[in-house]
């Protein structure tokens, strides 16, 4: 029950110089540490040391992490994971830069997830005394923080169950093959708190990555961001629209390595007693691109 | 640890017919039950039976409630309240319409708060299968849900401590008399989850009520709502602006009885490890009305 | 020199009952006159008797009209049209409902355009004394007024020249086959005043109609309108996006007969000394759908 | 009939260095020429050499200019001005930097207005071939262009008549002392084309200046601009709100010399046949600050 949020995404990029330009100058994230082949970044409204790790060499997701409230939560999660039958391992404090003890759970879809209670706090960019609402020195889109990730793999049912039983996440929305009883689960949106989702999983090849998402203030910021994306001639995958699923406003585009980014706003406040919303695959168009009600070719085929 | 959200506000109104017209036709809430002298309402995006109770006779706050996740949470809170030294009482299921067992805590500021795990679910207005994002039949402002309340009383320190120690809320922002160590607490914004606040308390006369707040989708909806408020010649207290505190977009206006309403959008996602933001009273103007940076006369004087 | 604006569009619809529901309840136009097989409508912010005429039987454009400032302008335009070599005719006052004398010019693309100085004024819906900014009783999208039309035909060069020489319109933007000197004109956006366009012409089969466009206040209203369009399950042709051409925000959808409607916001203020913007066909995607930078299949193929 | 728009405002500033920082880094205008004690600037979406001239020494309005369509228009205006009884003078080409012949009319309120057909074109910042919709290199607010000015003086009736009879402007809105027949004119909004106003006049001491206004894209940009204004601690006079008059969205603030600036969006398209909107002084609050419906103390008292 101690998971607070998705804390970081660790992704591979093909060319660090291009990637840095993208995440710093276009997305507006702040570099906090750079070393041979690795770059750590955070958004202006984040206080922990980093929420994005870029690693040179290839493309796709290396790993991702969730921050828990207390160190004790790690042991509790470890115990539950064992009961569930999931493989775990422990990484000692310091093995991850600026982080304390890490519990790693191997997910049944060729990905792992790291859990930690401690990361060096470096503070946000507006301070905590009579602060401004926005740091005007932010570059480009000026994205405040990492929001969530969409991760691809085959066994949706077990993955969802693991997040529910071991981690106390609950699903807010589900995509089912049909509305028939027992229809296969195609995708699930899961949250640990009150956001519409902290992570989502989509049925597909194990080990694949769909997108990492960055929260913007509102719809106007999503279209402002798209204006910049066009100006910099960045490939757009899903032009600004509304998701029927989560009701959030969205734009998908690709970083220079081909990893999909999302800028995201809106959504709703979720609670465990909120009835789960179910979608059927024949309405995926409405769920993905609410206005156009069509599925882009790439949504179910382009992963990294 | 079990409090999910502020679940309802129970307020007094002078004339039920006028109040009903305001909350139904202007705010866009849906009546779910009406009886002699009482009206129960909910927003279109709420699933519980009601989030606003209006009671004829006078003005101001009768009570307010928080929904907890599990029935067991009530006993845990009761125990902690006893340890804290707060007076509690139990109301059997059914004494509150459509609600289960209630634990009532008498706050040290002439208000009480009710806690409950069960309220009849009546469902939202868009359904849970391939839903629309907005119910176009909604009237007036079409406010989706109750967001929070600002409650007035004298002993801010004890009230904040009670919410932290007994209820596991944490403060996201605080207004202090000065930035000096040990300066008196003037106001505190507290959350049980990831919203910027579920409730706030402001130093003033015990038993008084500042406002109840309704969440809108975004800034454009706050100004649309204000267009309707002007059209219906409803008195505006704080014209649409941004709060420095919580960064949310806001408009204050009065219901026909003089109870202050707020329409609210934005804010941020809060977490327990987020450093608390401190404001000093000399910056109250910036905190309240970010653009104008002045305190309206009524903010610290007009309560119901 | 006397043309003020596009004053009306006269279109065919297959089923008047469905059409009326669409233009009144979805678009929010007000019926001002109904007779056997014909419906006259206006937007809430228009003062003339009508800006849309619907006629039962078929689909597409019957005609369209421009209002000139003074009766004398008709004679001047008639003279210039003769010099230009365009065929004209006169319709006596009253032949068009609630309109004065009409000068009809037959355009070289299988369409005609009517010019008139007089139409019965019926007033807007907010009045002229200390008015509100929006009529809250408006239905559906609540579109304030007709903005422009896009008309299809073969001879773009002569059509543009006619509007420039005879009517004192000037082009604000042009789509050319290539940027090479003398490249064929594919489309032209022409204005009589300071709007980014009052009419546009697109190369294609003579006598065809692309869309009629309704002005909304801003981007937020375009997406609100799209939320309603989805709710009513109306076919969307171009989901809300920005046009590179005119910079305006747009959504294309179809009325029940298949006539394309546009909701439109933004754009810029045009002046005769503003340099013309030229687009080349290889950038039509950016010009049409600025964020996606792709041409929808239907844009160059679906006309009525 | 040839006036196209307000072309420039020429204002005094106390300290050029501070003024330059304000107009360049905050407002986002581009310097096009600098000489001893004078700075010329333009917005990114303007093509003429300058639209703002700043002159060191004092505060307030030196002059302002309107661009006409053709050189011949100057003689026509001169003739009409003589008939009207207004004093005019001619300034030869080159006396005003980068401008052709100038006709100066002395207004009956201690101001003069300059008319010209020629100013060196330097082009906008996005170009004219397949252009972007916004220059992302723009600084601060990134205001696209000068929109209008509000000028103060005593004789409103004669000033309005001069603009109507000599210059073919027409009033879109008027503020009258009362709605009684023959009530004194307090303010008038006049346009030469389709904007809601190119200039407005307000009754007060002759020779005074109320504000110069810069057009932004929409309401979201007005509040973004206000976020920057707060960040730079610039004094705000009227926090972001809607004007009932013109329906435009607005924010008033002061440049470092105390000249009032406005950022403005929205409004409507005006036409000569649109009925004039009349306001009475008891509704000035609604006209000025639509949401708050109160007149700020400074509106009728603080001029430069």
Q: Express each pLDDT in D152-178 by its tens digit.
A: 999 999 999 999 999 999 999 999 999
Judge whether C61 lies within some domain. Answer: yes
Please check whether residue C75 touches B, CB under 8 A.
no
Q: Name the average pLDDT for chain B.
A: 96
Residue in chain C closest to B26 (alpha carbons) equals C136
From CA A240, how far away is CA A258, in angstroms rounded? 19
Average pLDDT over residues D55-75: 97
pLDDT tens string B216-265:
999 999 999 999 999 999 999 999 999 999 999 999 999 999 999 999 99
A75 interfacial to chain B (CB closer than 8 Å): no
- Band the pLDDT of A137: cuts 50, 70, 90: confident
CA A52 to CA A41: how far, in whole Å?
Answer: 5
Confirm if A201 and A156 have CB atoms less than 8 A apart.
yes
From B101, B116, B131, give the residue that closes a domain. Answer: B116
Cβ–Cβ contact C91 with A under 8 A: no
Q: Is B139 part of any domain?
A: no
Q: How many CB pairs under 8 A join A and B?
A: 115
Q: Is C121 helix (H, G, I), strand (E, B) or coil?
A: strand
Q: Do B277 and A45 count as a contact with CB atoms less than 8 A apart?
A: no
Is the domain of B96 the same as that of B165? no
Nearest to B236 among D236, D240, D292 (CB): D292
Cα–Cα distance, D201 to D298 (Å, whole number)? 16
Range of the domain at D67: 3-116
CB within 8 A of C209, min separation 6: which ones?
C11, C60, C61, C149, C151, C152, C259, C260, C303, C304
Average pLDDT of every residue of chain A: 96
CB distance D129–C277 less than 8 Å? yes
Q: What is the pLDDT of residue A1?
A: 59
Among B268, B271, B280, select the one facing A130 at the smallest CB separation.
B280
Are B112 and B150 members of one domain?
A: no
Q: What are phi and psi of B301, to 5 degrees?
A: -130, -30
Q: What is residue B21's predicted lDDT score, i.e. its pLDDT?
A: 98
Contacts of A223 in chain C (CB under 8 A): 219, 242, 291
pLDDT at B297 (0 to 100): 86
- pTM score of the predicted model: 0.95
Give the phi and the psi of residue C81 in degrees, each rounded to 5. -60, -40
Helix (H, G, I), strand (E, B), or coil: what is residue C195?
coil
| The three-state (H, E, C) secondary structure of A244-277, written as one string | CCCCCEEEEEECCCCCEEEEEECCCCCCCCCCCE
Per the domain annotation, does A42 fall within a domain?
A: yes
Contact A230 D136 (CB under 8 A): no
B265 touching D (Cβ < 8 Å): no
Say if residue C160 is in the same domain as residue C109: no
Residue at C130 is within a domain: no
pLDDT category of residue B94 using cuts at 50, 70 and 90: confident
Strands B277-280 and B170-176: parallel
Chain A interface includes D133 (CB < 8 A): yes
Of C223, C230, C241, nearest to A239 by CB-CB distance is C241
pLDDT over 90 at A296, yes or no = no
Nearest Cβ partner of D220 from A133, A220, A227? A220
Chain A CB within 8 Å of residue D75 CB:
no
- Give the pLDDT score at C136: 84
For the cut 90, the answer to whether the pLDDT of residue A297 exceeds it is: no
Which of B136, B231, B232 is facing C231, going by the closest CB pair? B136
From A66, A96, A262, A303, active-site residue: A262
Confirm if B256 and B22 have CB atoms less than 8 A apart: yes
A181, A282: one domain:
yes
What is the pLDDT at residue C297? 86
Q: Are residues C109 and C158 in the same domain?
A: no
Active site residues of B: 148, 197, 211, 243, 252, 262
Handedness of CA A138, A144, A145, A148 (dihedral sign): negative
Residues of chain C with pLDDT under 50: none
Q: How many whole angstroms separate alpha carbon C108 and alpha carbon C127? A: 41
- Taking residue C6's Cβ as centre, other Cβ atoms within 10 Å add up to 24
Round to whole Å and give the CA distance between C203 and C122.
Answer: 37
Q: What is the pLDDT of residues A68-107, one digit of tens each?
A: 999 999 999 999 999 999 999 999 998 999 999 999 999 9
Quick one: B83 and B169 in the same domain?
Answer: no
- Give residue D297's pLDDT: 85
Same-domain check for residues D62 and D158: no
What would the 3-class secondary structure string for chain D be?
CCEEEEEEEEEEECCHHHHHHHHHHHCCCEEEEEECCEEEEECCCCCECCCEEEEECCCEEEEEEEEECCHHHHHHHHHHHHHHCCEEEEECCCCCCCECCEEEEECCCCCEEEEECCECECCCCCCCECCCCCCCCCCCCCCCEEEEEEEEECCHHHHHHHHHHCCCCEEEEEEECCCCCCCCEEEEEEECCCCCCCEEEEECCCCEEEEEEEECCCHHHHHHHHHHHHHCCCCEEEEEEECCCCCCEEEEEECCCCCEEEEEECCCCCCCCCCCEEEEHHHHHHHHCCCCCCCCCCCCCCCC
Task: Say whether A226 sits in a helix, a strand or coil.
Answer: helix
Q: Do D230 and A136 touch (CB under 8 A)?
A: no
Cross-chain residue pair D5–C269, CB shorter than 8 Å: yes
pLDDT at B215: 96
Average pLDDT over residues D238-264: 97
Confidence at A285, pLDDT banded by 50, 70, 90: very high
Asked whether the beta carbons of residue B292 and residue D242 sit closer than 8 angstroms, the reply is no
CB-based contact C219:C169 (threshold 8 Å): no
Residue B1 has pLDDT above 70, yes or no: no
Residue numbers in D near C47 (CB within 8 A): 273-275
In a domain, B129, yes or no: no
Residue D131 in contact with partner chain A when CB distance is under 8 A: no
Q: Quick one: which of A3, A5, A2, A1 has its CA closest to A213?
A: A5
Cα separations (Å) of C299 from C252, C286, C288, C295? Answer: 10, 13, 9, 7
Q: Which of C141, C239, C254, C294 to mutate against chain A (most A CBs within 10 Å)?
A: C239
Is the domain of D112 the same as that of D162? no
Q: What percent of chain B has pLDDT over 90?
A: 96
Map residue B5 onto helix, strand or coil.
Answer: strand
Interchain proximity A121–B275, CB inside 8 Å: yes
3-state secondary structure of A24: helix
Nearest chain D residue to A219, by CA = D220
* Boundary residue ending a domain (B96, B116, B136): B116
Nearest by CB to D239, from B226, B241, B251: name it: B241
Instruction: Convert the pLDDT of each residue in A211-245 to its tens digit.
Output: 999 999 999 999 999 999 999 999 999 999 999 99
Residue D204 sits at φ, ψ, to 5 deg, of: 175, -165
Is D231 labeled as catalytic in the residue annotation?
Answer: no
User: Cβ atoms within 10 A of the Cβ of B208, count?
Assistant: 19
- Find the residue in B nearest to D285 (Cα): B230
What distances in angstroms separate CA B12 from CA B19, B41, B57, B304, one per listed residue?
A: 10, 14, 6, 9
Question: Can you give the pLDDT at residue D219?
Answer: 94
D250's CB contacts (< 8 A; 6+ apart) are D222, D238, D240, D241, D242, D243, D262, D263, D264, D265
Residue B37 lies in a domain: yes
**Residue D1: per-residue pLDDT:** 59
Nearest CA in chain D to C127: D277
- End-to-end alpha-carbon separation of chain A, Å? 31
Is A301 domain-assigned? no
pLDDT for position D27: 98
Domain boundary among A99, A116, A133: A116
Each residue of B47-58: pLDDT tens digit? 999 999 999 999
Is the Cβ pair A291, C220 closer than 8 Å? no
CB contact under 8 A, A133 and B280: no
Q: Residues A273, A157: one domain?
A: yes
CB contact under 8 A, C130 and D218: no
Cβ–Cβ gap A291/C240 under 8 Å: yes
Please, are residues D230 and B290 in contact by the beta-carbon 8 Å criterion?
Answer: yes
* Domain tally, chain A: 2
Which chain B residues contact residue D239 at CB under 8 A? 239, 241, 289, 291-292
Residues in C closer than 8 angstroms to B220, CB to CB, are 218, 220
Contact call for D278 and C123, based on CB within 8 A: no
Beta bridge partners of A175: A187, A279
Helices and strands (H and E) in chain C: how many: 5, 17
Compute the C-alpha angle C31/C32/C35, nearest 5°.
90
A139 at interface of D, judged by CB pairs closer than 8 A = no
CB atoms within 10 A of CB B291: 24
pLDDT for the residue D300: 87
Task: Give the integer Cα–Cα distance in Å for D248 and D287.
Answer: 10
Per the CB < 8 Å rule, is B136 touching C227?
A: yes
Rounded distance between C-alpha atoms, residue C175 and residue D163, angstroms: 38
Q: Do C53 and C152 fall into the same domain?
A: no
CB C121 within 8 A of CB C8: no
User: Residue A85 contacts by C-beta under 8 Å, 6 or more apart in sequence?
Assistant: none
Give the Å distances, CA to CA, from A160 to A81, A156, C57, D211. 13, 6, 55, 60
The answer as to whether C128 is a domain residue is no
* CA distance linking residue C216 with residue B192, whole number of Å: 40
Among candidates C223, C230, C292 on the partner chain, residue whose Cβ is nearest the Cβ of A239: C292
Q: Do both C172 and C252 map to the same domain?
A: yes
Of B4, B244, B247, the CB nearest to A271: B4
Alpha helix stretches (DSSP H) within B166-304: 219-231, 284-288
CATH code for the domain of A106: 3.10.180.10
What ipTM, to 2 d.p.? 0.95
Q: Which residues of C touch D280 (CB under 8 A)?
A: 129-130
Q: Tell me the C-alpha distance between B263 and C107, whole Å.
A: 53
- Among chain B residues, the shortest Cα distance to D296 is held by B292
Distance from CA of C284 to the nearest CA of A (A): 14
What span, in angstroms and rounded, lies between the C-alpha atoms of A177 and A170? Answer: 20
Q: Are residues D91 and D183 in the same domain?
A: no
**C67 and D CB contact within 8 Å:** yes
Other CB atoms within a 10 A radius of the CB of residue D130 amount to 18
Indicate yes or no: CB of C226 within 8 angstroms of CB of A291. yes
The answer to whether the beta carbons of residues A245 and A257 sit under 8 Å apart is no
């Amino acid at each position: 029950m101690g998971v607070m949020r998705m804390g970081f995404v660790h992704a591979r990029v093909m060319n660090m110089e291009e990637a840095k330009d993208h995440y710093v100058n276009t997305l507006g994230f702040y570099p906090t540490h750079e070393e041979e082949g690795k770059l750590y970044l955070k958004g202006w409204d984040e206080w922990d040391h980093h929420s994005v790790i870029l690693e040179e060499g290839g493309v796709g997701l290396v790993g991702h992490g969730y921050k828990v409230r207390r160190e004790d939560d790690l042991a509790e999660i470890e115990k539950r994971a064992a009961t569930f039958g999931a493989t775990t391992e422990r990484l000692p404090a310091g093995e991850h830069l600026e982080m304390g003890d890490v519990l790693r759970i191997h997910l049944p879809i060729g990905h792992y997830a790291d859990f930690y209670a401690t990361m060096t706090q470096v503070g946000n960019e507006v301070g905590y005394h009579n602060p401004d609402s926005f740091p005007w020195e932010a570059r480009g889109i000026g994205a405040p923080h990492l929001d969530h990730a969409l991760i691809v793999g085959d066994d949706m049912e077990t993955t969802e169950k693991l997040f529910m039983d071991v981690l106390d996440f609950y699903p807010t929305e589900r995509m089912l093959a049909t509305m028939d009883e027992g229809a296969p689960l195609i995708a699930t949106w899961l949250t640990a708190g009150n956001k519409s989702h902290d992570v989502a999983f989509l049925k597909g090849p194990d080990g694949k990555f769909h997108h990492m998402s960055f929260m913007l203030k509102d719809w106007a910021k999503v279209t402002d961001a798209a204006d910049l994306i066009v100006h910099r001639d960045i490939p757009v995958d899903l032009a600004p629209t509304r998701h029927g699923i989560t009701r959030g406003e969205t734009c998908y585009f690709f970083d220079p390595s081909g990893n999909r980014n999302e800028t995201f706003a809106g959504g709703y406040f979720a609670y465990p007693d909120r009835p789960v919303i179910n979608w059927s695959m024949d309405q995926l168009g409405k769920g993905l691109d609410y206005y156009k009600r069509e599925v882009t070719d790439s949504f179910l085929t382009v992963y990294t």
